[in-house]
Amino acid sequence: IVADAGVGPAKGIDIRGHYAYVILEGTVTIVDIRDANMPKIIGKLEGLGSSRQIQVRDHIAYIAARGDGLFLVDVSDPAQPSVLSHYDTIEFATGIALGGNIAFLACRLYGVELVDISDPHHPKHISVTRTGVSQSVAYADGFLYVGTWGDKVVVVVDVEDPRDPVITDK
């Protein structure tokens, strides 16, 4: 351990620039990590449900929060993060990946929900792909890689047409 950031038991983390965005139960904590030996908590936002995973892009934190869905949080001022919007997912949001204007949300029994995030104040449902019990998800080059818990496989999904995702391999 180089230094304890003092945030407590973390469930998820994303790092952008000089900041670590750390998810705890219901809270995102923003830590200045310019000096890895002396990390400093500079901002915190509570009330984010059962927060599970986080992805940060363009000063917005996208937070998968299990039964509490998806939170979009403005982190442009790291000292004062604020909720932009909340989206009620089809089932427990256990994982998240971003690709273009789409949030890919692992939703346990229902597979992966694709959500249009082009307007972060008004996220909208696009489609669902049934992959098995999805727990985590990663996106690269038009393909989604879904870690399934029950089947213990990685499901590959072509999402070039987000309205009609196609499972290509298991």
Cα separation, 35 vs 153, whole angstroms = 39
Cα separation, 111 vs 149, whole angstroms = 11
Q: What is the pLDDT of residues 76-108, one digit of tens each?
A: 999 999 999 999 999 999 999 999 999 999 998
Q: What is the pLDDT of residues 128-151, one digit of tens each?
A: 999 988 999 999 999 999 999 878
Please state, rounded to an integer, the average pLDDT across all residues of the chain: 93
Q: How far apart are the first and last CA of the chain?
A: 38
Q: What is the pLDDT of residues 4-50, one digit of tens each?
A: 777 878 899 999 999 999 999 899 999 999 998 899 999 999 999 99
pTM across the whole model: 0.94
Model pLDDT, residue 1: 47
